[in-house]
Amino acid sequence: MAQPLYPGCDVWLNNPLRPYEACGTSGMKAALNGGLNLSILDGWWDEWFDGDNGWAIPSADGLDDPDRRDDLEAAALYDLIEHEVAPRFYDVDGDGVPRRWVEMMRHTCQSLGPKVLATRMVRDYVRRLYTPATVNARALNSDYAGARELAHWKAKVRGAWPGVRVEHVESFGVGDAPEVGTPLTVRSYVALGDLTPGDVQVQLLHGLVNSEDQLIDPEVTELQAVETYEGGRHRYDGELGLGRSGPFGYTVRVVPANPLLVAPAELGVVTFA
């Protein structure tokens, strides 16, 4: 069915109720065939929509009245089709070519094509999950003592995590007119409760921000514990250089840290400033 369906599709409409989109492989196949996605920001589209590779249907996620939510999202969808999608599709030049539409198609193939390939997905699974999990499994003792120790540590961290919080963050070194290469020093005060600095990693997330002050593809720099205070409180410091121009933002988060974790998200806990 997909073979005749996708090559003949100009706009791939996907309008599930956020956040119930499982993944979005149908929209990925559309992108590979030059189709432009028109979708709720959920699943893969929430991650890779950039404003030029299709359209995002505004979501009324959070409303308690499901009928009101349907009305709002339907109105937003119709408005997008009437004022943005259709005008761009039918805006053709003297040769009958919708040049702005074709530009979006090319951008879609260029920006999304390498990302939505199955080979990229499998490669990420192997590098980020399967291989680290195999290495960790071999590192555990054959008598399961290492596995029991890791399970005990996980239970301890989950139980103590409600006491983890970022109390204060401050920065130095960047003035009102920052320049590329300017060093930024960040200091964060973190309460760990019953945990120790060895149980966690305090990270500085930094990078460009969009018009809504949200970080775009943030980079991660580990902050180092430099002082310890009473009550399980610690100070973490770090420094980085501003590597590019444009609006810059940062935040601090705390994640569990253990050499035998496959990934920091394995425990399902995180604390942000």
Average pLDDT over every residue of 169-193: 86
What integer is the mean pLDDT of 94-114? 94
Query: Does the pLDDT value for residue 176 go beyond 70?
Result: no
Whole-number pLDDT of residue 155: 97
Q: Using alpha carbons only, how large is the chain's radius of gyration in Å?
A: 24
Could you count the other beta carbons within 10 Å of the beta carbon of residue 120? Answer: 12
H-assigned helices in the chain = 2-5, 25-32, 44-48, 66-80, 86-90, 99-112, 118-125, 131-139, 145-160
- The boundaries of the domain holding residue 172 are 152-272
Looking at the structure, do residues 157 and 226 belong to the same domain, yes or no?
A: yes
* pLDDT for the residue numbered 82: 97
Q: Helix, strand, coil shares of the chain as percentages rounded to 5?
A: 40, 25, 35
Cis peptide before 256 (omega within 30 of 0): no
Give me the residue label for tokens 């919080």.
165
The pLDDT assigned to 203 comes to: 97
Domain assignment of residue 132, yes or no:
no
Q: Are residues 168 and 246 in the same domain?
A: yes
Residue 122 covered by a domain? no
pLDDT in tens, 194-235: 999 999 999 999 988 887 788 887 899 999 999 999 999 999
Q: Is residue 19 part of a domain?
A: yes
Q: Are residues 70 and 167 in the same domain?
A: no
Give the alpha-carbon dihedral of 225, 191, 254, 260, to 10 degrees: 70
| Contact assessment for residue 27 and residue 45, using Cβ atoms and an 8 Å cutoff | yes
**Domain membership flag for residue 245:** yes
Per-residue pLDDT at 95: 94
In this prediction, residues 99-104 reach a mean pLDDT of 96
Cβ atoms < 10 Å from Cβ of 222: 11
Q: Are residues 177 and 250 in the same domain?
A: yes
N-to-C CA span, the chain: 48
pTM (two decimals): 0.67
The set of residues, in sequence order, having a beta carbon less than 8 Å from that of 21 and lying 6+ positions away, is: 14, 40, 42, 43, 45
Residue-level pLDDT at 21: 83
pLDDT level of residue 175 (50, 70, 90 thresholds): low
**Final residue before a domain boundary, out of 67, 98, 116:** 116
> What pLDDT digit, counting tens, does each position of 129-149 carry?
899 888 888 888 777 888 889
Share above pLDDT 70 across residues of the chain, in percent, rounded to a whole number? 98
Number of structural domains (the chain) is 2
Report pLDDT for 122: 94
Task: Identify residue 25 by its one-letter amino acid code.
Answer: T
